[in-house]
Amino acid sequence: MARKTQKTVDTFLGVPACDVSHMNGRIDVVIMGASHATPLSPDGASHAQEAPDAIRRSMKEAASDTTRWDFDQDGPLLPAGIDVRDAGNLATKQSTPGRNRDLIRETARVILNASAVPVLLGGDDSVPIPFFEAFETHGPLTIIQVDAHLDWREERNGSRHTFSSPMRRASEMPWIERIIQVGMRGIGGSRKKDLDDALRWGVRIIPAADVRRHGIGPVVDCVPDGARCVVTIDCDGLDPSVIPAVLVPQPGGLNFIDVMELFDGLAAKAWIEGIDVVELVPSRDVNGIGALTAARFICKAIGCVASQRRRRDVTSS
Question: Which region among 33-41, 97-105, 115-123, 234-242 touches Mn ion (by CB under 5 A)?
Answer: 234-242
Contact (Cβ atoms closer than 8 angstroms) between residue 298 and residue 79: no
| Closer to Mn ion by Cβ: residue 233 or 260 | 233
Positions in 148-167 near Mn ion (CB under 5 A): 149, 151
Round to whole Å and give the CA distance between 158 and 105. 22
For residue 140, is the peptide bond before it cis, meaning its omega torsion is within 30 degrees of 0?
A: yes
| Closer to Mn ion by Cβ: residue 30 or 245 | 245
| Closer to Mn ion by Cβ: residue 144 or 267 | 144
| Closer to Mn ion by Cβ: residue 116 or 143 | 143
Give which of 258, 179, 181 is closest to 216, Cα–Cα: 258
Question: Which region among 84-92, 168-176, 233-241, 256-264 touches Mn ion (by CB under 5 A)?
Answer: 233-241
3-state secondary structure (DSSP) of residue 74? coil
Quick check: 124 binds Mn ion (CB under 5 A)?
A: no
User: From the CB of 184, what's the least distance to Mn ion, in Å?
Assistant: 10
Select the residue interacting with Mn ion from 70, 133, 234, 285 (CB under 5 A). 234
Round to whole Å and give the CA distance between 149 and 146. 9
State the SS3 of 188-212. CCCCHHHHHHHHHHCCEEECHHHHH
Question: Which region among 104-112, 202-210, 226-234, 284-292 touches Mn ion (by CB under 5 A)?
Answer: 226-234
Question: Which region among 50-58, 79-87, 102-110, 124-132 touches Mn ion (by CB under 5 A)?
Answer: 124-132
| Closer to Mn ion by Cβ: residue 100 or 145 | 145
User: From the CB of 56, what's the least distance to Mn ion, in Å?
Assistant: 22
| Closer to Mn ion by Cβ: residue 54 or 146 | 146
Give which of 215, 206, 311, 231 is closest to 268, Cα–Cα: 311
Measure CA 106 to chain center: 17
Quick check: 125 binds Mn ion (CB under 5 A)?
A: yes
| Closer to Mn ion by Cβ: residue 88 or 183 | 183
Give which of 234, 232, 236, 239 is closest to 248, Cα–Cα: 236
Round to whole Å and give the CA distance between 173 and 227. 17
Binding-site size for Mn ion (CB under 5 A) equals: 5
Quick check: 276 binds Mn ion (CB under 5 A)?
A: no
Quick check: 239 binds Mn ion (CB under 5 A)?
A: no
User: From the CB of 135, what's the least distance to Mn ion, in Å?
Assistant: 19
User: From the CB of 236, what's the least distance to Mn ion, in Å?
Assistant: 7
3-state secondary structure (DSSP) of residue 162? coil
Round to whole Å and give the CA distance between 1 and 194. 41
Positions in 172-201 near Mn ion (CB under 5 A): none
DSSP 13-26: GGPPB--GGG--S-
Quick check: 147 binds Mn ion (CB under 5 A)?
A: yes
Burial of 196 (C-beta count, 10 Å sphere; 0-12/13-18/19+): exposed
Cα distances (Å, whole numbers) of residue 176 to 12, 201, 227, 270: 29, 11, 11, 15
| Closer to Mn ion by Cβ: residue 36 or 149 | 149
Question: Which region among 52-60, 218-226, 229-237, 252-260 touches Mn ion (by CB under 5 A)?
Answer: 229-237
3-state secondary structure (DSSP) of residue 111? helix
Q: Which residues bind Mn ion (CB under 5 A)?
A: 125, 147, 149, 151, 234
